[in-house]
Amino acid sequence: MALKNIPRIIGMKGACGYAPENTLESIKVAAELGCPWVELDVKLTKDNVPVIFHDETLDRCTNGSGNMADTLFRDLQSLEAGSWYADSFAGVKIPTLEEAIDVILEHELGLNLEIKPCPGREVETAEVALDYLSRIWDDGEKLLISSFQHVSLETCLEISPDWKRGLLMDEVLKNWPDLAKHLEVFAVNFNGNLPDFNREMVEAFIDEGYKTFAYTINDPARAKTLYSWGVDGVFSDTPDVIEGISRTRH
């Protein structure tokens, strides 16, 4: 199964240049901007509820503190996750995976779901997230599951082999060809702002048959360079800023 209409632009954490990251509001802004896909992070609460959140701790993006892994969902519900970004977003909540998927399906978006497990929860985060997705998501051509955690991707391969996987890299891994082959990934998602991920590296990914997506690209000039190397798409906090040059095919 090939992903149809490979996105040239994927909204990062929704469209987090304009709304608090990983919130329903951010997803809606991405849709309003015409962004075809969004990227979101999923992790588990202490009682195994999958929620859309990036950090290990609550401190940066909520009015709470402590570790996500130590927080019950009922306690998470009492927190707000918007005023850190702007007063106009005060009262915004951390969404569950279910709530996020409802909004994504309502707006007919594609999804790159990053499995972002708390340490030691690499297997169960993938299991819980994919178990839920398997019950509601029926278009495998508009879904990419990615992770930095190789154990999480192994779990995805075992329980949902038909869904495409993306290997995330924030540095060039010496064994990436063997790893990508072992995990049977569809794409390599890499940090497009690092000099080690140069044209030669991108061409190596492409030569091995992988789609390539670069994060987090907010500079149109950088996006244009990456597209010229053959990169299939970019993740951006401000997808509308990249939109114009993304129409220029390599």
Of 78-87, 161-170, 239-248, the poorest mean pLDDT is in 239-248
Beta bridge partners of 235: 10
Q: What percent of the chain has pLDDT over 90?
A: 93
48: in domain: yes
Task: Name the pTM for this structure.
Answer: 0.95
Beta bridge partners of 236: 11
249: in domain: no
Domain ranges, residue 60? 9-241
97: in domain: yes
37: in domain: yes
CB 189 within 8 A of CB 169: yes
What is the CATH classification number for the domain harbouring 50? 3.20.20.190
CB 39 within 8 A of CB 80: no
Using alpha carbons only, how large is the chain's radius of gyration in Å? 17
| Average pLDDT for 196-215 | 98
84: in domain: yes
87: in domain: yes
209: in domain: yes
pLDDT at 36: 94
Confidence class of residue 248 from pLDDT cuts 50, 70 and 90? Answer: very low
Confidence class of residue 250 from pLDDT cuts 50, 70 and 90? Answer: very low
Confidence class of residue 243 from pLDDT cuts 50, 70 and 90? Answer: confident
Split into its structural domains, the chain has a count of 1
250: in domain: no
pLDDT at residue 4 is higher than 70: no
